[in-house]
A and B are shown apart, each in its own frame.
Chain A
Amino acid sequence: MKHIKLLIAGLGLASAGVQAAEEAFPSTYEPLPSQPTLITNATILTGTGERLENASILLDGGTIAWVGSGDAPANAVTIDAEGGYVTPGIIDVHSHLGVYPSPGVSSHADGNEMTNPATPNVWAEHSIWPQDPGFSRALAAGVTSLQILPGSGNLIGGRGVTVKNVYSTSYQGMKFPGAPHGMKMACGENPKRVYGQKGRQPMTRMGNVASYREEWISAQAYLESWTEYERKVADGDEDAKAPKRDLKLETLAGALKGDILVNMHCYRADEMLTILDLAKEFGYKVTTFHHGVEAYKIADELAEAGVCGALWADWWGFKMEAYDGIQENIALVDRPEGSCAIVHSDSSEGIQRLNQEAAKAMAHGRRAGLEISEEHAISWLTSNAANSLGVGERTGTLEAGKMADVVVWNGTPFSVYAKAEKVFIDGALLYDRENPALQPVSDFELGQLQEVR
């Protein structure tokens, strides 16, 4: 996925206003202690399309040392994974864990700032409750990283954040170091319903588009004012006055510059094509269409534009724009050369079974006559997802030098009976099905039930 740049915060940022924002609330995540770990006798799906039988993998110093076969240090822990599978850690690009945590009471509904159709100033990370019990359930399902997005009531919902799936007192302690921010935008029924009911723009799809354009026009002007300021500073103008920071426009300017990745919630094919035209008009890039129930109708256009489709295996019919859902959506989006199909959850239940969701998508693609192997389908949950989040050079595949985000499964992950046995994040064993001491329990869950008989 060459079209998605890997961005490290603080590097290569031209304008000071945007840079200031990038440095706010920095990650304090540090990998947990790990031991060199050799996993042997596994079927390894690398996430690069390869399948290795009876192979080994060495995790050392938080990274993958090698995949296939090689030497292990004397102090390495050896795990015999006979009959099992090893895959990269599962990545969910669309989660609301922490911002719509369990229990789902109204005091916890922190994922949707529905007070204005455009709230690019809000950041989902400021809503995250790090004690959401959902994180541990997702970990038990092999999820090692996830993007937490604000909800879809607004045309521009705010910034998303990519986190490592570790328990921490703060969200900063979960933040994936150096991962670019995402920006959440939404098409279609949600914003027009929310604001139309209030009797204000947008009330229609044409109102949606008009509002996007107004916002982008402001963002362009803002970006230009900063560029002008920086030019003056570079020319030695000591009287140059910095424009006033505007949190809304700072986010949009970051998206225009490509520092912030655009995540677009759209269901209908025609609307997605409108958005691609909008991106051309203002010179930004849509990184990923989320939900895209009709993405199969424009699979070629998505591949050509280098836009990922983050999709459900089978959800449909819950609203009008989801009426044309088919079970072959992911397989059809995956079909063209250069495509980027992703299985996403948008659900505290679905994130626990992304492997099953991918299995359904694979099975229905095969039933329709498309050839889809397990070693290919795993990329829908790993490498494609990592690329869509701008962290594909560091995680999402099993390759030497990458973060040791690894899952050991008890068999093929493409089964309803599959269980993640061991989950490593940066080489640290953070979930072990055989060891209750390695099954995290959030503060909220402690002491909730009396001892039952």
Chain B
Amino acid sequence: MSPFKTTLAAVLTLSALAATNTYADAIMIRNATVYTMTDDGVLENTDLFVSGNEIRKIGRNLDVPADIRVFDAGGRPLTPGLWGGAGAVGIVEVSAVEESSDASDATLEMRPEFDVTPAYNPNSSLVPVARTEGHTFTLLGAGGGGSIINGQGRVVALDGGYSSFHGGRVLFISLGGHAAEKAGGSRAGQWMQLNQAFAESGLKASDDGDGVLTRAGRTALASSVKNGIVVFGVNRASDILQTLAFAEHHGITAVIDGGAEAWMVADELAAAGVPVMLDPLQNLPSSFDAMGSRLDNAALLHEAGVTVIVDGAGSHNARKLRQMAGNAAANGLDHEAAVAAITVNPARVFGVDDAFGTIEEGKRADLVLWTGDPLEVTTVAERVIVNGKLDSMKSRQTELRDRYLVEDPTMPRAYIR
């Protein structure tokens, strides 16, 4: 069914490549439109050679080592592996099945030391579903539990490894109307509690302090401020400004998540160098925190110089991030900037751009070949390469599809595999 033919290449070797003797898993993609997501921009009619887990060569009319797989892209787009959002891929199986969901600490205590990474399961059915859609990295997030400080997560590669973590710890904090009841019903109380927690984090372990944090929590919070990134879930413009001031005061590397009204304070965000993770489909006054929601939020932020990351599709529907970026583009965001919002921007912001987000020689090979415009809803991932390996493009969902594509089976479908 694939329009891409696998062929064995002609016997030609490139001297630069010949140094490596075996190309058992090597892949050549011919004639792609390469979204490098670097200063090189979009390269047309370009070949790309992958060997080991690396992109080894990018260029026109590359020589091909013998006996390797070659895909003719026919000018179609090749992008870096996509960002899977800040979510729970690998730490949730079925959202409503509590025992399969490990993304939040449901206790009422403030536990910044709560860390979701030990719960990660690369064998989750969500991992191949995400991978076949072109997602190769995601940020495991700590979800809203019983506290305004949700806990910590980390970027993970969707390459099937048990400990494929990258970058540092990321702390998640939620503020605003939806989170208010966790701190006495007022966002004023949230700031009060947050200030108290941050004050405690500066205390020595021997001090008792006022006791909203455990000793481990103080250490974790202090470490997040010093070395980590803190994601603040806020939507209202006034809350965003409070957050910027708070982050500056404590020297926090902050990211805004949600940001429904971020466009209203775009200049302040740009001046502070704080990126925004947003849902470009959010255009309803869904709460009193989001009265200013509008479809061109991403476009306005980008115009003001704010780094935009597309997020908010959830874990099971992470594949919708691409559609969301497409809608951002349809509502004024520059097309390449929209692609950046699901590739290089999250990689840079979360400090994992050594591995993800761009197509460059010498870099980890996480690549997706698309049937058309990568932001179009009628486009699908044709080939996905994860850490240099060609993905099987199989998941529970493709297996179910193939089972039920068979018409009038004589035996129960349980016999069709």
Structural contact, B323 and A416, CB atoms closer than 8 A: yes
- A366-402: which have CB < 8 Å to B? 367-369
The residue from B287, B316, B327, B396 contacting A103, defined by CB atoms under 8 A apart: B287
**Any A CB within 8 A of the CB of B96:** yes
The residue from A137, A352, A369 contacting B405, defined by CB atoms under 8 A apart: A369
CB-CB < 8 A to A317: which residues of B?
Answer: 93-95, 126, 315-316
**Any B CB within 8 A of the CB of A364:** yes
Rounded to whole angstroms, the CA-CA distance of A314 and B377 in the bound complex is 12
Given known A-B contacts A102-B285, A326-B400, A448-B291, A318 and B379 have beta carbons under 8 A apart: no
Closest to A445 in B: B285
Rounded to whole angstroms, the CA-CA distance of A444 and B329 in the bound complex is 29
CB-CB < 8 A to A104: which residues of B?
Answer: 286-287
**Any B CB within 8 A of the CB of A84:** no
CB-CB < 8 A to A229: which residues of B?
Answer: none
Structural contact, A415 and B401, CB atoms closer than 8 A: no
Structural contact, B284 and A105, CB atoms closer than 8 A: no
**Any B CB within 8 A of the CB of A332:** yes
Structural contact, B401 and A137, CB atoms closer than 8 A: no
Rounded to whole angstroms, the CA-CA distance of A105 and B376 in the bound complex is 34
Rounded to whole angstroms, the CA-CA distance of A281 and B313 in the bound complex is 42
Given known A-B contacts A319-B94, A360-B377, A367-B380, A296 and B404 have beta carbons under 8 A apart: yes
Closest to B95 in A: A318
Given known A-B contacts A316-B316, A318-B95, A367-B1, A416 and B284 have beta carbons under 8 A apart: no
Closest to B372 in A: A363
**Any B CB within 8 A of the CB of A297:** yes
Structural contact, A314 and B327, CB atoms closer than 8 A: no
Structural contact, A103 and B286, CB atoms closer than 8 A: yes
Structural contact, B285 and A133, CB atoms closer than 8 A: yes
Structural contact, A444 and B285, CB atoms closer than 8 A: yes
Rounded to whole angstroms, the CA-CA distance of A327 and B396 in the bound complex is 12
Structural contact, B284 and A415, CB atoms closer than 8 A: no
**Any B CB within 8 A of the CB of A134:** yes
CB-CB < 8 A to A327: which residues of B?
Answer: 397, 401
CB-CB < 8 A to A240: which residues of B?
Answer: none
CB-CB < 8 A to A137: which residues of B?
Answer: 283-284
Given known A-B contacts A319-B97, A360-B377, A314 and B286 have beta carbons under 8 A apart: no
Rounded to whole angstroms, the CA-CA distance of A364 and B397 in the bound complex is 12
The residue from A134, A297, A319, A368 contacting B95, defined by CB atoms under 8 A apart: A319
Contact with A along B375-417 (1 / 0, CB 8 A): 1111110000000000000001110110011000000010000
Tell me how far the C-beta of A436 lies from the nearest C-beta in chain B, rounded to whole angstroms. Answer: 14
Contact with B along A403-414 (1 / 0, CB 8 A): 000000000001
- B279-315: which have CB < 8 Å to A? 281-288, 290-292, 315
Closest to A189 in B: B96
Contact with B along A311-336 (1 / 0, CB 8 A): 00011111110111111100010000
**Any A CB within 8 A of the CB of B112:** no
The residue from B93, B95, B323, B327 contacting A360, defined by CB atoms under 8 A apart: B323
Rounded to whole angstroms, the CA-CA distance of A152 and B283 in the bound complex is 26
Structural contact, B323 and A323, CB atoms closer than 8 A: no
Structural contact, B284 and A326, CB atoms closer than 8 A: no
Closest to A316 in B: B316
Structural contact, B319 and A416, CB atoms closer than 8 A: no
Closest to A417 in B: B330
Rounded to whole angstroms, the CA-CA distance of A129 and B130 in the bound complex is 38
Structural contact, A419 and B330, CB atoms closer than 8 A: yes
Task: Count contacts on A: residues with CB < 8 A to the other chain.
Answer: 50
Contact with B along A337-367 (1 / 0, CB 8 A): 0000000000011001100100110111001
**Any A CB within 8 A of the CB of B56:** no
For the complex, would chain B's binding face be called helix, strand, loop or mixed by DSSP majority? loop
Rounded to whole angstroms, the CA-CA distance of A320 and B126 in the bound complex is 14
**Any B CB within 8 A of the CB of A234:** no
Rounded to whole angstroms, the CA-CA distance of A452 and B262 in the bound complex is 12
Rounded to whole angstroms, the CA-CA distance of A104 and B282 in the bound complex is 13
A105, A316, A418 pick with most chain B CB within 10 angstroms: A316
Structural contact, B1 and A448, CB atoms closer than 8 A: no
**Any A CB within 8 A of the CB of B264:** yes
A103, A319, A324 pick with most chain B CB within 10 angstroms: A103
Structural contact, A449 and B317, CB atoms closer than 8 A: no
- B76-120: which have CB < 8 Å to A? 93-97
A326, A327, A367, A448 pick with most chain B CB within 10 angstroms: A326
Rounded to whole angstroms, the CA-CA distance of A415 and B327 in the bound complex is 10
The residue from A324, A353, A363, A452 contacting B281, defined by CB atoms under 8 A apart: A353
Given known A-B contacts A102-B285, A319-B94, A326 and B326 have beta carbons under 8 A apart: no
CB-CB < 8 A to A359: which residues of B?
Answer: 377-378
Closest to A134 in B: B284
Tell me how far the C-beta of A214 lies from the nearest C-beta in chain B, rounded to whole angstroms. Answer: 27
Structural contact, A326 and B378, CB atoms closer than 8 A: no
Structural contact, A297 and B404, CB atoms closer than 8 A: yes
Rounded to whole angstroms, the CA-CA distance of A449 and B290 in the bound complex is 11
Structural contact, A356 and B323, CB atoms closer than 8 A: yes
Tell me how far the C-beta of A372 lies from the nearest C-beta in chain B, rounded to whole angstroms. Answer: 11
Structural contact, B317 and A314, CB atoms closer than 8 A: yes
Closest to B400 in A: A326
CB-CB < 8 A to A448: which residues of B?
Answer: 285, 291
Closest to A362 in B: B378
Structural contact, B319 and A102, CB atoms closer than 8 A: no
- A431-445: which have CB < 8 Å to B? 444-445
- Provide 9 A-B residue pairs closer than 8 Å at the C-beta atoms, listed in order of the A residue: A103-B290, A104-B286, A137-B284, A317-B315, A320-B94, A353-B327, A359-B378, A416-B377, A419-B330
- On B, residues with C-beta under 8 Å from A are 1, 93-97, 126, 264, 281-288, 290-292, 315-317, 319-320, 323, 326-327, 329-330, 375-380, 396-398, 400-401, 404-405, 413
6 A-B pairs with least C-beta separation: A416-B326, A317-B316, A319-B96, A363-B378, A102-B284, A359-B377
Starting from the known contacts A133-B285, A318-B95, 6 additional A-B residue pairs (CB-CB under 8 Å) come to A296-B401, A296-B404, A323-B94, A360-B377, A363-B377, A368-B405
